[in-house]
A and B are shown apart, each in its own frame.
Chain A
Amino acid sequence: MHDRLMLGKYYPGKSIMHRLDPRTKLILLILLMVTLLIPKTILPILLLFIGSVGLIIISKIPLKEILSSLRSIMFILVFAFLINLFSGKGPIILDLGILKITQDGLLNAILMSVRLILLVIDTTLFLTLTTTPLQLSHALENLLKPLSVIRFPAHEIAMMMSIALRFVPTLFEETDKIMKAQSSRGANYDVGGFFNKIKGYISIIVPLFISCFRRADELANAMEARCYHGGKGRTKLNELRYTTLDLLFSLIFIICCVIILFTHYQMPNLI
């Protein structure tokens, strides 16, 4: 049930993409997004496309898994494609009365779609498919650590994230249990007027809330009993470490991005 909520699921593996430090992946992803958003011509986007295919190949993740992440943005994709398709200027290819498809419009629509697709594919590739949520929260905690000077609660936020992740399945199970219990008492969630439905959902939400508070209370006790006292002086089982792989990968990655941006700025007229 909860799988539907996630944008993509972690795909276990030992590829280069999996072995990169999550911090490297986060930073490089930001660079990649910038590179994706600036150019609007064919050549840099073609290069980006080739680059992304390269990333998919080295990640060793089946194409099916990667493409399934596009399902959630299908609507936006089609919408953006159509808007661009009908709003171009220049020579008309097809005249449909009020709507006219132009050469520019078609090109723009295709480029726009490719950019959107690449954006989603690269993000899921970097963040969800090859990185566990836990690694991600560690990376965030680590990258935001310098901000603790201005009392930014980096550790607390990361801890909250990982506890939330830990309890997602538990709370889904609990919701299911409560729904079954209330249904057995005659609660009905499908029929009746608006008011009846709301009333039905209250019978789930109230026990769920109470259970969350109880769990939170007990978990706080359990954490304290295991000597939890905030992020100070805390070590990690899997300490994040940059390796030569990170260095090499980052170098190649940055050079590629620079080349792509160069083609955009220096050869704007080259289609």
Chain B
Amino acid sequence: MPFLKEQILKRTQTFNHTESSSYPGSDDSLILADNVSFAYPASDGSSSDIVALKNVSIKINKGKHVAILGRNGSGKSTLAKLINALEIPDQGKVIVFGHDTSDKSSLWSVRQACGMVFQNPDNQIVGTTVEEDVAFGPENLGVPSDDIRCRVDRSLSRVGLEQYALKAPSQLSGGQKQKLAIAGILAMQPDCVILDEATSMLDPKSAKDFLKLIKELQQEFSMTVVEITHDIENAVTADYIYIMQQGEIFFSGTPREVFTRPDKVLSAGLDLPQHLYINYLFQNSFSHEALESLHEKHPDDIFTPEETVDAMFELQNIASPQTITSPAKKYSYSNQTLISVEKLSYTYQKGTEFAVDALKEVSFQVEQGEMIAIVGHSGSGKSTLISHLNGLFVPQTGQVEVMNLNTRNKKNIREIRKFLGLLFQYPEHQLFENTVYEDIAFGPKQFGFSESEIEKNIKQAIDIVGLSQDILQRSPFELSGGQQRRVAIAGVLATDCEIFVLDEPAAGLDPIGQQEIINYIMHLQKLRKTVILVTHDMKLAARADRILVLNEGSVAAYDTAENIFSNQKILTAAGLEVPPAYKFARLISEKFSCEIDGYTAEDVNYNLLKHLNNRRQSNA
């Protein structure tokens, strides 16, 4: 895209950059943060500032793909804002392709050079039409109209949205909105694109498409990519990784350097790629001596799945596993039907030209104590389906019965909602009361619980989600995002439902936050509650007793995880992927010439160890 680049350069060259170009070690080919510190002013003004970054130094070469990992609140987004000159460091310097971000005159050249895609697709679209939005950046740069038109058309066709040029942004899907954001950045002809958790609100397929597009652009325009993410499987493909913890660079290196130190990665509160995590669990079952002798014989830096499986094979040749801890077992469930959905169909804007069939003859049953995962790509009808379960939608055709109460009967609705707690995506956005206590108490109060019951239930609920007593009298809006999520979950726990319907309860949380959510769900299972989980995360879905696969509004399959993940036909049709642990289990099976199954890392490890022990015993 050479067009007009000169013009922009000319514009920017009229500014004075003497200071930045003389900065030691800097040239136009890299992004440099040198010993940077930054603090946000405290919101109440009285206490001290909130330190976001402490002595952070990074160096990113042009054309490279760099991933920045870390827990929520570790300072990743702040770092991104500093690179984009949205914030100016308190101490230290950020030099972007030769421009000092604290130099006011180079502000626009920095922002033009570094485009940024934010997390929420909706909150970064300015234009009332798709093409107006792409034009927004060049318009701000003062590019002449004809050239803007040229850039807009090229950018839109590059990301594949040309047929939507005159549509309103609200008509796009989440994945398309993020592509629109990319088009808007491309139109500014940047050298670098910063992705601030840009895929965290997308479904896996859209996320994959989006990241593929980014990879292509990186190669096509030798664009620098700075990716802030929780997605470990994608971070593995980066050229370099920075891991942040509490505002500091905890450690950094190439993916191989980083992930060959699993202890360190886990201690930063991050995930490992599944095959490395299985290896980590596997090694932990062996004695210290066995591992020592493995280190002597075998190269230490295992990173790819093949290397990993080789190392695992080597290790079991040296010694036999010491400990076998069985993974959390699944609970049995009774065959008393709690939910029964029969031939449910629903059409949005029925009878108009905009009619969309959201559900087509959906039938299924849920037994007491069961855990069901509902999976399917965006727009497959998942939200419409769960909205029927508690009577938010009345069936157009078909029946929905919850605990033998039909949702068609208006008098039943209140009772159903009392039994069936439904939590939508990002439930923290529903908080509204003055204190956490009142907010959690809102549900129970509506359902007519007594004061003493409410108090008891709240105490239990906050115990489960791990909130402390003293948080109860605070305003929910003072809390962090993760804490707000727990308050919202406590709100549904406090109504003491029989059935919990949770829509993407772990979305947008960091790995530790996600693990906590899984723990709550396991706790509910232990209490013999029925759980229905809507999720894109196959690792999570694999834990369910049965999986309901929705495709284009119809039930594609309703079966156990084993039967669904082994049926490639269903998976391809519904656009789903097998959990990465299962993929690695296939590789293990080949190497160890046996049949190892499992959909979570824990299961795969346990099944492998069990197999090795059995084999040893039969040999002896």
Contacts and interface: CB of A to CB of B under 8 A. Distances in A.
A169 B124 contact: no
Contacts of B132: 134, 237
A181 interface: yes
Interface string B108-119: 100110011010
Contacts of A180: 387, 392, 424
Contacts of B125: 166
A218 B111 contact: no
Contacts of A19: none
Task: Tell me if A's interface is mostly helix, strand, loop or mixed.
Answer: helix
Interface in A150-202: 162-163, 165-166, 169-170, 173, 177-178, 180-188, 202
Contacts of A134: 128-129, 132
Interface string B357-392: 000000000000000000000000000000100101
A187 B445 CA distance: 10
A219 B140 CA distance: 15
A185 B392 contact: no
Interface in B419-434: 421-424, 427, 429-432
Given A169-B168, A180-B424, A185-B491, A235 B148 contact: yes
B142 A235 contact: yes
B429 A211 contact: yes
Contacts of B115: 225-226
Nearest to A187: B446
A203 B442 CA distance: 10
A223 to B, nearest CB: 6
Interface in A229-266: 229, 233-239
Given A226-B136, A235-B144, A188 B111 contact: no
B52 to A, nearest CB: 15
A14 interface: no
B126 A163 contact: yes
A237 B131 contact: yes
Interface in B88-124: 108, 111-112, 115-116, 118, 120, 122-124
Contacts, number: 149
A233 B125 CA distance: 21
B432 A237 contact: no
A146 interface: no
Contacts of B536: none
Contact of B112 (A183, A185, A227): A227
Nearest to A161: B128
B141 interface: yes
B349 to A, nearest CB: 11
A65 interface: no
B152 interface: yes
Contacts of B140: 226-229, 234
B188 interface: yes
Given A178-B429, A210-B477, A218 B128 contact: no
16 contacts: A166-B126, A173-B170, A180-B424, A181-B430, A202-B432, A206-B432, A207-B430, A215-B122, A219-B123, A225-B84, A227-B188, A234-B142, A236-B148, A237-B131, A237-B135, A237-B152
Interface of B: 81, 84, 86, 108, 111-112, 115-116, 118, 120, 122-129, 131-132, 135-145, 148-149, 152, 168-170, 184-185, 188, 387, 390, 392, 414, 417-418, 421-424, 427, 429-432, 442-443, 445-447, 477, 491-492, 495
Given A185-B430, A226-B111, A227-B137, 11 more contacts: A162-B127, A162-B128, A185-B442, A185-B492, A186-B445, A221-B118, A222-B124, A224-B86, A225-B86, A226-B137, A228-B126
